[in-house]
Amino acid sequence: MNSISSEEKARLMKLATYASTSVALTLIICKMVAWLMTDSVSLMATLIDSCLDALASIINLVAVRHALAPADKQHRFGHGKAEALAGLGQATFITGSALFLLLEAISHFWNPQPISEMPVGVAIMVVSIVATYGLMMFQQHVINKTDSTAIKADRLHYKTDLLVNGSVIIALLLAYYGWAGFDPLFALLIAGYILYSAWEIVQESLGLLMDREMPDEDRQKIKAIVRGHPKALGMHDLRTRTSGMTIFIQLHLELDDSLTLMQAHTISDEVEALLLAEYPGAEIIIHEDPASLVEQHPEFAE
């Protein structure tokens, strides 16, 4: 993750929520016009998907603003888990829409309807693809800078949208020039993919709510930074988690027994500064342990 200030992260996250909401509302209008003109069930599928994207983006907007609020007396660790809660809410809406779409697709599959005004539907889908791709590029930029769970979940919606829009173009062409059943068939496939995407969001959100450890790559980096200090004899009991934009790091630092309390505290501060250089804004708790204690308790060693 790039090292940028908390203020810049907050600005980027807010911009991403405004952009996704604007794009979703615009696409809803376009797709509604196309669906009314073509009576395509696959177009209705992507219209439903866009409606849920708009609702999810609005939820994200509210959740991100809440997650960025500073810690208070009732929430000492901040409000970062609002992002994960928003992700679960989005997954619920997405699952409901996918199930509704499955029922509609099955109904149209047994009673295929001819497609009319096919060029209009294709044109709207091309516009949707261009707008969605542009939004996803901006969202990825924000994710690279902030590692926001809420923006990741939102981008997953639009990644689904991108694939859905492309498949709808194929479905419209096949249904118009061939068998009308291609339209509901593609809608069934889209519904299945939407359900899979919802499951991915649930996994990500539950991981944050259950205080999942940071990736092994980050844990190894933290250990290397701590052990890289010339006065650090070792470390153990590393615990990490994330909540919104905030990373929490706790560890026991092994130091020479002969150090004074002030010397041990100074070294601990220096190690904390090294970690903050790599993880700006992280909440770090370091407990100093005499090295002989670890020798007496080998289970402490990592």
In this predicted model, what pLDDT tens digit does every residue of 263-295 receive, in sequence order?
Answer: 999 999 999 999 999 888 788 999 999 988 776
Instruction: Decide if pLDDT at 117 tops 80.
Output: no
Region 87-92: what's the mean pLDDT? 76
**Where do runs of H (alpha helix) occur along 68-148?**
82-110, 118-146
Does residue 24 or residue 107 have the better pLDDT?
24
Taking the domain 6-209, which CATH number applies? Answer: 1.20.1510.10
Q: Which pLDDT score, from 0 to 100, does residue 112 have?
A: 63
Same fold, 6-209 and 216-300: no
Sign of CA dihedral 179, 180, 181, 187: positive
d(CA 195, CA 190): 9
Region 220-240: what's the mean pLDDT? 92
d(CA 146, CA 7): 11
Region 191-219: what's the mean pLDDT? 81
Q: Which pLDDT score, from 0 to 100, does residue 259 have?
A: 92
Instruction: Decide if pLDDT at 143 tops 90.
Output: no
Q: Using DSSP, state whether 83 is helix, strand or coil.
A: helix
User: What percentage of the chain reaches a pLDDT higher than 70?
Assistant: 79
Instruction: Decide if pLDDT at 215 tops 80.
Output: yes
Region 59-83: what's the mean pLDDT? 66
Sign of CA dihedral 61, 62, 63, 67: positive
- The answer to whether the beta carbons of residues 272 and 235 sit under 8 Å apart is no
Q: Which pLDDT score, from 0 to 100, does residue 238 have?
A: 93
Report residue 197's pLDDT band, with 50, 70 and 90 as the boundaries.
confident
Q: Which pLDDT score, from 0 to 100, does residue 249 have?
A: 93
Instruction: Decide if pLDDT at 245 tops 70.
Output: no
Q: Which CATH number applies to 216-300: 3.30.70.1350, 3.30.43.10, 3.40.50.300, 3.10.450.50? A: 3.30.70.1350
d(CA 159, CA 139): 11
The set of residues, in sequence order, having a beta carbon less than 8 Å from that of 266 and lying 6+ positions away, is none
User: What percentage of the chain reaches a pLDDT higher than 90?
Assistant: 20
Q: Which pLDDT score, from 0 to 100, does residue 266 have?
A: 95
Instruction: Decide if pLDDT at 301 tops 70.
Output: no
Q: Which pLDDT score, from 0 to 100, does residue 298 have?
A: 60
Does residue 298 or residue 109 have the better pLDDT?
109
What's the DSSP call for residue 1? -
Report residue 1's pLDDT band, with 50, 70 and 90 as the boundaries.
very low
Region 239-258: what's the mean pLDDT? 86
Does residue 287 or residue 117 have the better pLDDT?
287
Domain extents for the chain? 6-209, 216-300
